[in-house]
Amino acid sequence: MSAPVLVRQERQPAMPGAREVAPDVLRIQLPLDLPGLGHINCYVIPDRAGFALVDPGMPSTSSWRVLVRSLAEAGLPVRRCHTVLVTHSHPDHYGAAARLRQVSGAELVTHEHFKTYWDPHEEDDFVREVAVPGDYSAQMGAIENAMLRLTGRERHSPWDRPLPWGGPPPDNEWRERVRWRIVPLLRSRTWQPPRPSSRVRDGQVIRLADRDWQAVHTPGHTDDHLCLLDPTEGTFVSGDHLLPTITPHISGLTTQRHPLRDFFASLEKMFEFSEVRTVLPAHGLVFGDLIGRSKEIIEHHHERIATITNAALHAPGNELTVAEYSKVLFKPHSWGVMADSETFAHLEYLRQTGRAEARAVDGHLRYRILD
Q: Are 164 and 148 in contact (CB under 8 A)?
A: no
Q: What does each C-alpha distance from 370 to 14, 260, 298, 344, 357 come to in angstroms?
A: 46, 19, 22, 16, 7
**Cβ-proximal residues to 283 (8 Å cutoff; 6+ apart), any chain:** 9, 10, 32, 37, 39, 40, 41, 240, 243, 246
> Is there binding between residue 149 and Zn ion (CB under 5 A)?
no
Which residue number, 89 or 326, has a Cβ lying nearer to Zn ion?
89
Nearest approach in angstroms of CB 212 to Zn ion is 26
Q: Is 90 in the site for Zn ion (CB under 5 A)?
A: yes
Nearer Cβ to Zn ion (170/220) = 220
First to last CA, the chain: 42
Q: Choose between 90 and 161: whose C-beta lies nearer to Zn ion.
A: 90
Q: Which residue is nearest to Zn ion (CB)?
A: 90
CA distance 242 to 21: 17
**Which one of 84-92, 106-114, 138-146, 261-269 is the stretch in contact with Zn ion (CB under 5 A)?**
84-92
Binding segment (CB under 5 A) for Zn ion, from list 200-208, 261-269, 276-284, 350-358: 276-284
Nearest residue (CB) to Zn ion, 233 versus 240:
240
- Is 293 a binding residue for Zn ion by CB under 5 A? The answer is no
Cross-sheet strand order for the sheet of 356-361? 319-321, 364-369, 356-361
Which range touches Zn ion (CB under 5 A), out of 71-79, 119-127, 197-205, 281-289?
Answer: 281-289
In the complex, the smallest distance separating the C-beta of residue 16 from Zn ion, rounded to whole angstroms, is 20
Site for Zn ion in 225-244 (CB under 5 A): 240
Cα–Cα dist 88/219, whole Å: 10
Give the span between the Cα atoms of 369 and 122, in whole angstroms.
33
CB of 87: closest distance to Zn ion in angstroms? 8
Q: Is 39 left (phi over 0), alpha (psi -120 to 50) or beta?
A: beta
Tell me whether residue 315 or residue 338 sits nearer to Zn ion (CB atom): 338
Residues near Zn ion (CB under 5 A) are 90, 240, 282
